[in-house]
Each structure stands twice: as structure tokens, then as C-alpha cells.
């Protein structure tokens, strides 16, 4: 039997987690902090929220919204190209229920070999298919070495992820004003950067100096409330600016 005191402590921590997901949460940084709390609360090490792949060749890194995956793992997983083809993603297309499986099901293409990736501490994955108010599809995952949760804990994890996603959707709305703030040049620079062009190449394409390109990136990053160029590109794509 579980220790009653431990159960009470766990329940209190869960209640505190849910209460932290209030209407006052407005920034992606706050959601990231809550996501870390959620993972720790339920005994997971890693997490991510990613836009659902529309086709087979959707780049993983461009669809990633929140994550604490190691950057090298993100890069190699993207290169492996198995995100949209993985058995776990395929099963999530067919159900609204949360799923728990070996992380292998996320790291391999359907009917193919497992990608040569190392994901230490990510043996198993809890995943759910979530939707915004406007019907856009996302996947939220928690990964770790723990065993499968029972029915009651599964319900608690699912509820926590739904509330977290609701907080994240509020940050989308808060950031939508960026559509009106970004200049045409800033959008052009982000669009070319998303296409893989360097600052020097963008300068040549637009007929401006590399210094000016860098300046546009700095202002666009600030307006999008991003911490770096890559995050600014990801947010601009999510807002359908590029």
C-alpha cells in the first residue's frame, strides 16, 4: 500500500501545480516553468509540446514549441526525419485518449528501423493529442524511466497537460499583436532565415547591409518576445507570419 502521508503530499503538490495555472500566466517562460514542474511532479525527466505533423516530411525543429530535450537530440531527430512517420504519432492521430508507450515508438518510422539516437533517461513516453480553440493540433509528451501510471494518475497527468496547454494558448493570443508590430523588412528577414539563409546571404538578397539585417533580427526577436533568432522564427511560423 502507498504511504498515506506520501499520498497526501503528492495530492497537495498536484493541487499547487493546478492552482499555478491561473489566468495570470501570460508568457511562454511561465508555461515552460510550469511544464518543468509538471514533469517533476509525475516523475518524468523530459517534456515537449510540438505542433502535429501535417505531412510526412514536416521538419520537427520548426514545429517544436516548448521542450527541454537536449539540443543535439532535437537536431539528430530532425535529421532522422521520423517524427511524422513514427508509430506513436500515427496512433495519436486515431485517438483523443492519452497514451503511454516505450519511447522507441516515437523514435522510429512506421515499419522501419529505429533511428540511431541516444535518449538517456527517456525510456517511456506519456503522450496526448491536444487542440487549440481554433482546432489546431498539437502533441504534448512527458518522457522518463518511470513505469506506466495507473488510471487515476493518468487522469491527473492528462488534466495537468490540458490546463498547461490552455495556458500556452493564452500566450499565442498575447503574442498575436506581433502581427501588427513587425515591419515588412523584419518579416522578410525571418522568412529568409527560416529558408536557411545566413545574415550575409539575406543582406545580398534584400540589397541591404549585414548590420541592418542583424538589426532587423534584434527588433523582430524583441517584438516576438523571443530569446533568440531561432525562437523568433518558430514563433513567427506559429503566428503564420512567415
Q: Tens of pLDDT along 186-200? A: 999 998 998 889 999
110, 86 contact by CB (below 8 A): yes
Between CA 240 and CA 80 the distance in angstroms is: 26
Return the H-helix or E-strand segment holding 67: strand 64-67
Return the H-helix or E-strand segment holding 139: strand 137-144
- The SS3 call for residue 33 is helix
Task: Inform me whether the pLDDT recorded for 46 exceeds 60.
Answer: yes
All residues at 6 or more sequence positions from 93 whose CB lies less than 8 Å from its CB, including other chains:
52, 129
pLDDT at residue 170 in the model: 82
Reported pTM: 0.70
List of domains in the chain: 4-174 (3.30.450.80), 178-238 (1.10.10.10)
pLDDT band at 92 (very low <50, low <70, confident <90, very high): very high
Higher pLDDT, 106 or 9: 106
pLDDT at residue 195 in the model: 86
Task: Indicate the angle between helix axes 151-175 and 4-20, nearest 10 degrees.
Answer: 20
User: Dihedral sign, CA of 185, 191, 194, 198?
Assistant: negative
pLDDT band at 155 (very low <50, low <70, confident <90, very high): very high
61, 75 contact by CB (below 8 A): yes
pLDDT at residue 87 in the model: 92
Amino acid at each position: 500500500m502507498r504511504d498515506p502521508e506520501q499520498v497526501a503530499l503528492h495530492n497537495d503538490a498536484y493541487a499547487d501545480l493546478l492552482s499555478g495555472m491561473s489566468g495570470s500566466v501570460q508568457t511562454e517562460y511561465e508555461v515552460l516553468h510550469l511544464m518543468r514542474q509538471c514533469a517533476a511532479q509525475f516523475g518524468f525527466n523530459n517534456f515537449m509540446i510540438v505542433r502535429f505533423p501535417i505531412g510526412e516530411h514536416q521538419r520537427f525543429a520548426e514545429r517544436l514549441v516548448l521542450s527541454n530535450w537536449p539540443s543535439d537530440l532535437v537536431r539528430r531527430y530532425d535529421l532522422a526525419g521520423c517524427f511524422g512517420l513514427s508509430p506513436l504519432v500515427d496512433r495519436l492521430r486515431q485517438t483523443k485518449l492519452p497514451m503511454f508507450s516505450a519511447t522507441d515508438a516515437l523514435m522510429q518510422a512506421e515499419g522501419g528501423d529505429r533511428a540511431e539516437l541516444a535518449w538517456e533517461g527517456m525510456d517511456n513516453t506519456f503522450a496526448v493529442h491536444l487542440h487549440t480553440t481554433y482546432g489546431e493540433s498539437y502533441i504534448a509528451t512527458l518522457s522518463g524511466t518511470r513505469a506506466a501510471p495507473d488510471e487515476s494518475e493518468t487522469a491527473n497527468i492528462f488534466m495537468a497537460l490540458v490546463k498547461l496547454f490552455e495556458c500556452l494558448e493564452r500566450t499565442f493570443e498575447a503574442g498575436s499583436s506581433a502581427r501588427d508590430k513587425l515591419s515588412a523588412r523584419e518579416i522578410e528577414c525571418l522568412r529568409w532565415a527560416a529558408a536557411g539563409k545566413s545574415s550575409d546571404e539575406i543582406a545580398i538578397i534584400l540589397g541591404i547591409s549585414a548590420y541592418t539585417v542583424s538589426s532587423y533580427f534584434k527588433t523582430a526577436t524583441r517584438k516576438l518576445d523571443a530569446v533568440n533568432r531561432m525562437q523568433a522564427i518558430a514563433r513567427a511560423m506559429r503566428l503564420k507570419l512567415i
